[in-house]
Amino acid sequence: MKTITETAELFGVSTRTIRYYEEIGLLSPARTEKNQRLYSNGELAKLKLIFRGKRYGFSLDEIKEMVLLFDKDRSGRQQLLRTIEYGKRRVQEVEGKIKELQEMKEEMEGLLDEFTEKLSQTKGDRENE
């Protein structure tokens, strides 16, 4: 069991971030008699999933659904099915962004070539003067 401070340090986030995840129902830490939060290995695993989901661009609602599905279905099957569904959707979004960025890069390279040619021509004009 880890305190909120230890947990925040472990994940490199603020204690406020951890509290926020509790407020929106992603975490349910145990409490001491003095009401201090204690995070079990299960809660730490949830946090790991939350941060991984954020890194891959999932919304907090999607992350919440995926994380909480395990509590409803301990086999993990429903969680895996939903994660695959959201993951495929996210891969398509990333592929679209890659295509868009590739097109932008090619357009910029074309403009740079055009500008370089214009600069070269103006340089030649100056030498002829």
CA 116 to chain centre: 39
In angstroms, rounded to a whole number, what is the distance separating the alpha carbons of residues 89 and 35? 41
Tens-of-pLDDT digits for all 129 residues of the chain? 999 999 999 999 999 999 999 999 999 999 999 999 999 998 999 999 999 999 999 999 999 988 888 778 778 888 889 999 999 999 999 999 999 999 999 999 999 999 999 998 887 666 655
Q: Which CATH number fits domain 2-128: 3.40.220.10, 1.10.8.640, 3.10.105.10, 1.10.1660.10?
A: 1.10.1660.10
Q: Report which of 50, 70, 71, 73 is spatially closest to residue 62, judged by C-alpha positions.
A: 50
Q: Which amino acid belongs to residue 47?
A: L
In this structure, what is the dihedral angle of CA atoms 29, 34, 36, 41, given to the nearest 10 degrees? -50
Could you tell me the pTM of the whole model?
0.72
**Cα first-last separation, the chain:** 81
Tokens of 2: 């880890």
